[in-house]
Amino acid sequence: MMNKASFRRLNSFRNRVILIFFMIIIVPFLLFAYYTHIKSIEGISNANTGISLSYLLQTKKNFELYLTKLNDQINELIGNKQIQEYLEKPPQTSQEEESFTVNMLTSLYQTIPSIDAFRVHVYPIRPSLYPTYMSTIGESAELENEAWFQRSKASVSPTWNLFMPQKGKYAKPLITYIKRFSGLYDQIPRGIVSTDLSEDQLKRFFTPAEQMVGQKLLLLNEQGIVVFDSVDNKWTGERVPVESFYELMKSGSRATGSIDIQGTAYLPTYLRMDNEPWTIVSLTPLAELTGTIREINRLFIIFLVVYLIGCMFVVVYLTIYFTQPIAQLVRHMRKVDKEDLQHLHLSSSRKDEVGWLYREFDSLIHKIEGLVEAASLSERKKKELEFQVLSHQINPHFLYNTLESIRWKAEIHGRSEISEMVSALGNLLRLSLNQGKEITTLGREIEQVKAYVWIEQARMGKNVRILYAFDDETLELPFLRLLLQPLIENAIQHSIRDNFEKRKILLSGRREEDDIIIEIADNGEGIPEETLRKLHEDTDGNVMYAQSHKGVGLRNVNDRLRLYFGDNYKLTIESGKDIGTKITIKHPILKEA
């Protein structure tokens, strides 16, 4: 498993630069070179296949014309009346056989020179009846027992046979065209003509004018046996020594791909003959075609080595002049993270980005030191204020006790209105302070509003027409304190104060998904445009409160909502002279009070 140190080294700037450099430049370069190499080989293969196929088509045409002409010449031999007469009846005596031999050979010597072949033999259909003739032409009378003779004797169609070298007969392989013939005027078999084609004759058709080194031309029979190999008949009489070659031949008349035969890569092209059960195959050594590409590959490798060495120098340069200074800067930053600001003043005379980083970091250290001093001073002042608050913590209790004493004396003297008013004021004060907590409940906020409305009614001697409409489930939900009272106060002071008999306020609340929606609506004169405009201005708080008191309650509630819950929870106000004012508060449902 990779440890943390190895992981940090992997994530270092230098290693990332090396990785990015390798991925952006080296890898695409290698991929492009590989793609170019593959496409070059493919292009050469396609070109060679096209050229070879054109040559094979011409070779096939020429060879088939030769075989057609050879067959015509053999037919002329078969149609010779003298030969037909000599073979009509087998000789009965030795004198007749000697006469047959002399006459037959004389006729053949006159006819055979016109046949374009290495050697032509005419065999009686039963050679055993012509021992003298067979001996004269150098063949055994037992020839008729050989498999090729029996096969040809039983076949109406001409056949081909490959004779491998035999001591005392022929030193090189021979391809023999064997044809049985019958009488001119009957269907009785008379004899068999065997026509031998030597290597020299086949090379006339299967040797390219500009043959590459190692290139082979093969002639395969229907069993896949090589009957002719243009290179010293090396594979003649055998199958091509790799089975993948035959698999490739099944793909069609034009091979696509290379094969490896005895350690040499060849590009094969083949063509099947129309009139004979043979296939002409061209095997071109891939090395001969890609010699130039190999030279290019060697130059590419040399260039790549030089390129990588140059990259190493670039990496060393980046390490010395960039990564090491940055690593040093990171170490100083870690000291800052540990709140160790001593002896961290850095300087650099470099004019590049690294020098800028050093100078900016040094400036940042100075600013941090100043902020630390300011924060320390602020903390001391905060402690002093907390001490002052603790020292005056008795003031709310003293005020509660004083109000309670006033209420008790008012009841003793029969002043119930004064007692109720003092009780409401005490309740309002208690709910407003909320024991110093910012979060109360919606129910307590409504109680505070009711206490404030009661005090206002007692103070002004007028009844405030205000309706409350809340879902019971919302009353226990947490709610930010002192949101509703300033808005109700604003509505009383600026909307219904001029006409308590006709003006009224509707305070309602409901839950919508994860929010509490509070609506405060009145049928007063509406809020002036100037007040609404100032509500949305980003004015400094001190300046705002130094201005007219008008709109301060709205601004205070709006700012507190935005401060606590974000801009999505600011006030929404609809106001107009004829429609009154409707203020909507959107308050999130908090988890706990």
pTM: 0.48
Residues lower than pLDDT 70 in the chain: 1-18, 21, 25, 29, 37, 39-48, 168, 208-212, 251-257, 289-294, 335-347, 349, 378, 381-410, 413-436, 536-552, 592-593
Residue pair 440/593 in contact by the 8 Å Cβ criterion: yes
Instruction: Compute the distance between CA of residue 231 and CA of residue 262 in angstroms, rounded to an integer.
Output: 15
Residue 414 domain-assigned (yes or no): no
> Do residue 180 and residue 274 come from a single domain?
yes
**Alpha helices (H) in 116-223, listed in sequence order:** 131-136, 147-154, 199-206
C-alpha distances out from residue 317 to 10, 111, 313, Å: 19, 91, 6
Sheet holding 259-261, edge to edge: 226-229, 216-220, 279-285, 264-272, 259-261
- The 3-state DSSP class for residue 580 equals strand
Q: Name the strand (E) or helix (H) holding 469.
A: strand 466-470
508 part of a folded domain: yes
Give the C-alpha distances (Å, rounded to integers) separating 139 from 75, 132, 146, 154: 23, 10, 12, 20
Give me the pLDDT at residue 282, please: 84
Check if the beta carbon of residue 212 is closer than 8 Å to that of residue 286.
no
H-assigned helices in 319-352: 324-337
Please indicate, yes or no, whether residues 285 and 154 belong to a single structural domain of this protein.
yes
Give the Cβ contact number of residue 373 at 10 Å. 10
Q: Are residues 578 and 480 in the same domain?
A: yes
Do 218 and 362 have their domain in common?
Answer: no
Beta bridge partners of 156: none
Say what the pLDDT of residue 124 is.
93
Indicate whether 131 and 254 sit together in one domain: yes
Left, alpha or beta for 117 (phi > 0: left; psi -120 to 50: alpha)?
Answer: beta
Distance of CA 415 to the CA centre of its chain: 88
Residues 355 and 248 in one domain: no
Residues 192 and 154 in one domain: yes
Rounded Cα distance between 386 and 364, Å, is 32
- Looking up tokens 């990785």 gives 19
Residues in the chain: 593
Residues 304 and 171 in one domain: no
Of 232, 263, 289, the position where a domain reaches its end is 289
405 lies in a domain? no
Within a domain: residue 422? Answer: no
CA 132: distance to chain centroid? 84
d(CA 92, CA 113): 30
Burial zone of 514 (CB within 10 Å; 0-12 exposed, 13-18 middle, 19+ buried)? exposed
Straight-line distance from the first to the last Cα atom of the chain, in angstroms, rounded to the nearest whole number? 49
Judge contact between 562 and 454, C-beta under 8 A. Answer: no
CATH of the domain at 145: 3.30.450.20
Short-list 459, 470, 531, 468, CA closest to 504: 468
Distance (Å, rounded) from C-alpha 244 to C-alpha 258? 10
Distance CA 90, CA 103 (A): 14
Residues 41-79: pLDDT tens digits? Answer: 666 666 667 777 788 888 889 989 999 999 999 999 998
> Facing residues of 522 across strands?
505, 581
Q: Does residue 496 form part of some domain? A: yes
Alpha-carbon distance of 461 to 577, in angstroms, equals 27
**Which residues make Cβ contacts (< 8 Å) with residue 462, sequence separation at least 6?**
500
Q: Around Cβ 370, how many Cβ atoms within 10 Å? A: 10
Residues 181 and 215 in one domain: yes
Domain count, the chain: 4
The CA distance from 262 to 451, in Å, is: 108
Indicate the residue among 272, 289, 306 that finishes a domain: 289
Q: How remote is the C-alpha of 106 from its chain's centroid?
A: 83
Question: Is there a domain that residue 159 lies in?
Answer: yes
Q: Are 213 and 264 in the same domain?
A: yes
In a domain, 501, yes or no: yes
| Domain co-membership, 126 together with 197 | yes
Cα(440)–Cα(7) distance, integer angstroms: 51
Cβ–Cβ under 8 Å, residues 521 and 505: yes
Among the listed residues 82, 88, 141, 144, the one whose alpha carbon sits nearest the alpha carbon of residue 109: 82
Residue-wise DSSP of 509-572: EEEETTEEEEEEEE-SS---HHHHHHHTS---HHHHHHS-STTHHHHHHHHHHHHHH-GGGS-E
Instruction: Residue 218: name the closest of 207, 209, 229 by CA.
Output: 229
For residue 501, the domain's CATH number is 3.30.565.10
Q: Whole-angstrom Cα distance, residue 61 to residue 50? A: 17
According to DSSP, residue 125 is labeled: S
Among 346, 370, 394, identify where a domain stops. 370
| Whole-number Å distance between alpha carbons of 559 and 566 | 10
Residue 555 lies in a domain: yes
Please name the helix (run of DSSP H) or strand (run of DSSP E) that holds residue 197, with its range, or none.
Answer: strand 189-197
Residues 171 and 319 in one domain: no
Range of 89's domain?
A: 50-289
DSSP bridge pairs for 509: 470, 518
